[in-house]
Amino acid sequence: MNAAEERLQEVLAAFDFGAPVVGALRYGQGHINDTFVVHTQPEDRCCRRFILQRMSAAAFKHPDELMENIIGVTEYLGREIAKHGGDRSREAMEVLRPRNGESFFTDSAGGAWRVYPFVERTICYQSAESEELFAASGRAFGRFQRLLGDYPAQTLHETIPNFHNTEDRLQKFKAALAADPLGRAKDCGPEIQFVLDREADCSVALNAMREGTLPLRVTHNDTKLNNVLMDEETHEGLCIIDLDTVMPGLVIYDFGDSIRFGANHSAEDERDLSKVNLDVELFSAYTAAFLEGAGGSLTNEEIDYLPWGAKLMTLECGIRFLTDYIDGDHYFHISREAQNLDRCRTQFKLVADMESRWAELEAIVRQYQK
Ligand code: ADP
Ligand code: GN1
Ligand code: MG
C-alpha cells in the first residue's frame, strides 16, 4: 500500500458509514477539493454511496470555520425545505460526522476530511446541454438565494477573505506579476494587457456596494452548473452543492458566475477560442429562471447590475487563472501544462463578447424591472 492509500484507509476508518466500505475512488471534476466516492455494502440493501472530500488546504485556511458554516447552512436549508413540503434528504446536503463527533476528521498528515451522503438519481452536468437545463440551474440557484433570505448572515465566517473582491484580486495579480517566480509573464503579454485595460471595471460592483446601491446578502459565490445536482427524472435543479464559499456577498456574484460558466458551449479550458462565444439566448433564459427562483426578491438596482455581475465574475475568474498560472499553478488543479492560461483565455474571450453585446444584455435584464 502506498502512502496515499494508507492515508485513505486511515480516513475511511474514522467514519461510521453504517456498512462495510467496499471501495473508494476519485470522483468529479472540481478544481479545488480532492473528492472520492465511497461505496458501502449494507447486508440487506443495495450499495450506499458517500462523497468523501479532503478540503483544499491552499484554498481554506480554517476548515473548522468552514464546516461550521456548512452545518449551519445545511441544517437551516433542511428545515426550510421540509417546511415547504420538500424532500430534505435529497434537496439539501447533509454532513456525516466522523466517529469522534467533530464536523470533520484531521488525518495524521494534517489533511481535513469530510463526508456527505451521495445524492442519488441525480446528474452533475459540466456544460449546458440545453436551454431548459441551464434555466433549471438558474431556478435552483435563485431558490437557494430565496431560501437563505432570512439566514443570519453575520454568523457566517468568511471562508476565503475577499473572495469576490475584484479590486483585491487585481492587486494579487499585480503582486504575482511583479514576482513572476517562473518567468511565465513573457508568455502572456496580451492577457496581462487585457487586465490592465480593465482596472477601473474591477471597482464597479464594490463602489455600488459601498454607496449602498447593492445590498449584502447570503450568497453561494461559486454557482457553476456543476455545483447543482439535477434530478435524473424531472431534470430540475435538485440540490445545490459545494457550499464552501457560502458567505455574505452580492446577488450579482451568484448570477454572474453561472453566466460565466454556463452561457456558452465550450469547456472552461477550451484551446480553440473560435468555439468560445457568449450565448445571449442562454443569458436570457438564465436571467428569467434565476429571477423566477428568487421569487421577486431582487431590487431594481440589483437587476440593473446583473450584466455587470456576469462581466465581473468572468473577468475576475480570468484574472485568478492568470495569477495562478504566473504563480506556478498552486491553487486550481491542473491536468496539463498551461491549462490555467487556457482557462484565462476563455474567460477573457467571454468578457470581450459581453462588452460587444452589452446593449443586448442590458435590454434583456431591463424587462424584469418592477
Ligand atoms: P470542488 O470544490 O472541488 O468543486 P465539489 O464539492 O463541487 O468540489 O464536489 C466535486 C464533485 O463531486 C461535484 O461536481 C459533484 O459531481 C460531486 N458531488 C459533490 N457532492 C456530492 C453529493 N453530495 N452527491 C453527489 N455528488 C456530489
Ligand atoms: C473553483 O470548487 P469549484 O471547482 O466548484 C473555484 C471557483 C472558480 C472555479 C472556476 C473555492 O470552483 O471560485 O470560479 O473553480 N472555487 C474556489 O472553475 O476557489
Ligand atoms: Mg464544485
Please indicate whether residue 78, judged by its CB atom, sits closer than 6 Å to ligand 1.
no
CA 282 to chain centre: 19
Q: What are the pLDDT digits (tens) for 215-226?
A: 999 999 999 999
At residue 1 the predicted structure's pLDDT band, cuts being 50, 70 and 90, is confident
Q: What are the pLDDT digits (tens) for 55-95?
A: 999 999 999 999 999 999 999 999 999 999 999 999 999 99
Nearest ligand 2 atom to alpha carbon 30: 4
Q: What is the CATH number of domain 131-368?
A: 3.90.1200.10
Residue nearest to atom 13 of ligand 2 (CA): 222
At residue 361 the predicted structure's pLDDT band, cuts being 50, 70 and 90, is very high
Please name the helix (run of DSSP H) or strand (run of DSSP E) that holds residue 237, with its range, or none: strand 237-240
Dist. CA 240–CA 148, nearest whole Å: 12
Give the mutation target among 229, 239, 246, 334 for probing the ligand 1 site: most ligand atoms within 8 A of CB.
Answer: 229
pLDDT at 357 > cutoff 90: yes
Pick the CATH number of 3-120 from 3.40.1110.10, 3.20.20.100, 3.30.200.20, 3.30.70.330: 3.30.200.20
Give distance in angstroms: CA of 37 to centre of ligand 3.
14
pLDDT at 14 > cutoff 90: yes
Cβ count within 10 A of residue 95:
17
At residue 43 the predicted structure's pLDDT band, cuts being 50, 70 and 90, is confident
Give distance in angstroms: CA of 317 to centre of ligand 2.
9
Domain boundaries, the chain: 3-120, 131-368
Could you tell me whether strands 21-26 and 48-54 are parallel, antiparallel, or unpaired per DSSP bridges?
Answer: unpaired
Q: Which pTM value belongs to this model?
A: 0.96
Q: What are the pLDDT digits (tens) for 157-201?
A: 999 999 999 999 999 999 999 999 999 999 999 999 999 999 999
Nearest ligand 2 atom to alpha carbon 317: 14
